[in-house]
């Protein structure tokens, strides 16, 4: 689960990371009011959306007067911000963060991620911050420093000091860096984070280390024990298809194609997507309905797939092990009727009670397209898609 920049800054500040003073606005007037209250003569106005690359996309601006703050904020509210990291629709701007501007001497990069290979938290840093980590890894890979933390020992002070030295920091900058890295590590560990990223982490002209941007992402499997983090969830920033599926306990990932997939098992779901591609089609989603698929669950899966307006054909592929094909077939028939389906539906069933399952599909009198193998199902779905387009 992702949170907003201002929320991440608030959390990190609690752990001891220095951040600029600022205020959250829900209207241009509030933005102007924050600028006045903060004082000074320069403010940074920032669209709060769950995405990086806001600066390049016109979602961040350095403003020199209260009026400029209000005017720029007015161009953000009610609009969508399209960045390199969002899809073509972008994300709605409902919140704007206004903070006292900093005079930047140097931009650094600091990130903490879960390294799946070593199964440990990895700290990544660079003396060359500001751009996205992907671009940094491409354009200046030698500047990247990586350090893995042993969970039994925790982050040792010498490690953060070594990191600060390797970035070329000097004097008082070193102690500030050590402090910031340790604060980020504690926040990551204590809150079940999956990612903490400060980019840029800057050294100001007066020699202070400050986090000008902050990003945090949390392990959804640990949210049951992090109610305060869960409260930071902003559904307006999520793909509605995915949050809807999650509410119903379905593992769903939205994609760009038009063949909706209802499948049990992550492996089978991936194999089915491969077969659709091989047959010349494009899947609209990844959806794993899990092991014990009751008719209700299958019907819910249909509703979830149908929330995607791009879907032209639905492919149901169930291999029943602990599941039962007759239950799945019941679910398909129920969903077809209750949802008033008009789209072609291709069904492939295999495993426990497959004969009973097929009989239910046949006797339903519905125009379902059946298939015996995975390859046949994918081909029939792509054919049906072509007929729809014609
Ligand atoms: P992102 O583009 O979504 O990663 O948003 P950032 O918060 O990183 O802001 C984009 C860029 O705006 C940063 O990389 C900085 O170069 C610039 N920026 C942000 N805050 C300040 C500030 O206080 N002063 C100055 N001069 N530039 C800033
Ligand atoms: Mn940034």
pLDDT digits (tens, 9 = 90+) for 257-292: 999 999 988 899 999 999 999 999 999 999 998 876
78 Cα–ligand 2 center, Å:
22
Question: Per-residue confidence at 299, pLDDT binned at 50, 70, 90?
Answer: confident
pLDDT over threshold 90, residue 87: no
Q: Is 366 helix (H, G, I), strand (E, B) or coil?
A: coil
Distance of alpha carbon 291 from alpha carbon 268, whole angstroms: 12
Q: Is the CB of 129 within 6 Å of ligand 1?
A: no
Lowest mean pLDDT among 67-81, 190-204, 322-336, 367-381: 322-336
The answer to whether the beta carbons of residues 111 and 195 sit under 8 Å apart is yes
CATH class of domain segment(s) 239-389:
alpha beta
175 Cα–ligand 2 center, Å:
23
54 Cα–ligand 2 center, Å:
8
Q: Is the CB of 130 within 6 Å of ligand 1?
A: yes
pLDDT at 116: 94
pLDDT at 295: 79
pLDDT at 242: 84
Nearest atom within ligand 1 for CA of residue 83: 3
Sort strands 259-263 and 313-320 into parallel, antiparallel or unpaired: parallel
Question: Which of 5, 107, 197, 330 does the annotation list as catalytic?
Answer: 197
> Which residue matches tokens 């003569």?
41
Nearest to 326 by CA among 299, 302, 300, 293: 293
Question: Per-residue confidence at 302, pLDDT binned at 50, 70, 90?
Answer: very high
pLDDT over threshold 80, residue 293: no
Distance of alpha carbon 109 from alpha carbon 200, whole angstroms: 6
Ligand minimally distant from the alpha carbon of residue 60: 1
Distance of alpha carbon 198 from alpha carbon 47, whole angstroms: 17
Q: Across the beta sheet with 60-63, what order do the strands follow? A: 22-25, 96-100, 43-47, 60-63
pLDDT over threshold 80, residue 91: yes
pLDDT over threshold 90, residue 118: yes
Distance of alpha carbon 100 from alpha carbon 38, whole angstroms: 7
60 Cα–ligand 1 center, Å:
7
pLDDT over threshold 90, residue 109: yes
Lowest mean pLDDT among 90-94, 311-315, 322-326, 384-388: 322-326
Q: Is the CB of 60 within 6 Å of ligand 1?
A: yes
pLDDT at 151: 93
Please calculate the CA angle 285-343-385 and round it to the nearest 5 degrees: 65
For the chain, the average pLDDT equals 94
> Which residue matches tokens 């129920």?
334
Indicate where the chain has its CATH 3.30.470.20 domain(s). 1-20+103-238
pLDDT over threshold 80, residue 212: yes
108 Cα–ligand 1 center, Å:
12
Q: Is the CB of 133 within 6 Å of ligand 1?
A: no
E strand spans, the chain: 22-25, 43-47, 60-63, 80-81, 91-92, 96-100, 104-115, 120-126, 144-148, 193-204, 209-211, 215-218, 251-254, 259-263, 285-288, 313-320, 345-351, 369-371
Domain 21-101 bears CATH identifier 3.40.50.1000? no
pLDDT at 390: 84
Distance of alpha carbon 112 from alpha carbon 50, whole angstroms: 18
213 Cα–ligand 2 center, Å:
5
pLDDT at 269: 94
Indicate where the chain has its CATH 3.40.50.261 domain(s). 239-389
pLDDT digits (tens, 9 = 90+) for 23-79: 999 999 999 999 999 999 999 999 999 999 999 999 999 999 999 999 999 999 999
pLDDT at 157: 92
The residue-averaged pLDDT of 318-324 equals: 85
Of 8, 18, 41, 60, the residue with max ligand 1 atoms within 8 A of its CB, to mutate for a pocket test, comes to 60
Distance of alpha carbon 161 from alpha carbon 176, whole angstroms: 10
- In the chain, what percentage of residues exceed pLDDT 90? 82
Question: Which of 109, 188, 252, 336 does the annotation list as catalytic?
Answer: 109
pLDDT at 321: 82
Q: Is the CB of 102 within 6 Å of ligand 1?
A: yes
Question: Per-residue confidence at 245, pLDDT binned at 50, 70, 90?
Answer: confident
pLDDT at 251: 87
Q: Is the CB of 22 within 6 Å of ligand 1?
A: no
Nearest atom within ligand 1 for CA of residue 5: 7
Check if 282 is active-site: no
What is the CB neighbour count within 10 angstroms for residue 106?
A: 19
Indicate where the chain has its CATH 3.30.1490.20 domain(s). 21-101
pLDDT at 216: 98
Question: Per-residue confidence at 360, pLDDT binned at 50, 70, 90?
Answer: very high
- In the chain, what percentage of residues exceed pLDDT 70? 99
Ligand minimally distant from the alpha carbon of residue 100: 1
Check if 33 is active-site: no
CA-based torsion, 315, 316, 319, 322: positive or negative? positive
pLDDT at 363: 95
- Could you please state the CATH topology (level 3) that the domain comprising 1-20+103-238 is classified under: D-amino Acid Aminotransferase; Chain A, domain 1 (3.30.470)
pLDDT at 348: 96
Q: Is the CB of 52 within 6 Å of ligand 1?
A: yes
**Phi, psi angles (nearest 5°) of residue 345:** -125, 120
């Amino acid at each position: 689960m992702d949170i907003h920049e201002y929320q991440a800054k608030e959390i990190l500040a609690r752990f001891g990371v220095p951040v600029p003073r600022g205020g959250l606005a829900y209207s241009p007037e509030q933005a102007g009011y924050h600028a006045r209250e903060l004082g000074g003569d320069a403010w940074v106005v920032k669209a709060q959306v769950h995405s990086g690359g806001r600066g390049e996309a016109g979602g961040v601006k350095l403003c020199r007067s209260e009026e400029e703050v209000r005017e720029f904020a007015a161009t953000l509210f009610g609009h969508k911000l399209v960045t390199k990291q969002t899809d073509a629709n972008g994300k709605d701007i409902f919140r704007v963060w206004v903070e006292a501007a900093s005079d930047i001497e140097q931009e650094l990069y600091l990130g903490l991620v879960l390294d799946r290979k070593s199964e440990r938290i990895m700290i990544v840093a660079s003396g060359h911050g500001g751009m996205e980590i992907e671009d940094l890894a491409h354009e200046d890979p030698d500047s990247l420093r990586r350090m893995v933390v042993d969970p039994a020992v925790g982050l040792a002070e010498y490690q953060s000091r070594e990191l600060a030295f390797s970035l070329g920091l000097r004097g008082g900058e070193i102690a500030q860096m050590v402090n910031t890295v340790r604060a980020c590590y504690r926040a990551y560990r204590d809150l079940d984070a999956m990612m903490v990223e400060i980019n840029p982490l800057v050294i100001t002209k007066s020699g202070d280390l400050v986090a000008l941007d902050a990003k945090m992402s949390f392990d959804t499997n640990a949210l049951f024990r992090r109610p305060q983090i869960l409260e930071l969830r902003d559904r307006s920033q999520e793909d509605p298809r995915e949050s809807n599926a999650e509410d119903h306990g379905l593992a769903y990932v939205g994609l760009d194609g038009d063949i909706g997939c209802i499948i049990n098992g992550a492996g089978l779901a991936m194999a089915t997507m491969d077969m659709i591609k091989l047959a010349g089609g494009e899947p609209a989603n990844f959806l794993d309905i899990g092991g014990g698929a009751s008719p209700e669950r299958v019907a819910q899966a249909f509703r979830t797939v149908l929330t995607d307006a791009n879907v032209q054909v639905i492919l149901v592929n169930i291999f029943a092990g602990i599941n039962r094909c007759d239950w799945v077939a019941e679910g398909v028939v129920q969903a077809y009727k209750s949802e008033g389906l008009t789209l072609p539906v291709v069904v492939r069933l295999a495993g426990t009670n497959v004969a009973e399952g097929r009989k239910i599909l046949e006797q339903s009198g519905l125009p379902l397209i059946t298939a015996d193998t995975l390859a046949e199902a994918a081909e029939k779905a792509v054919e049906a898609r072509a007929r729809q387009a014609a």
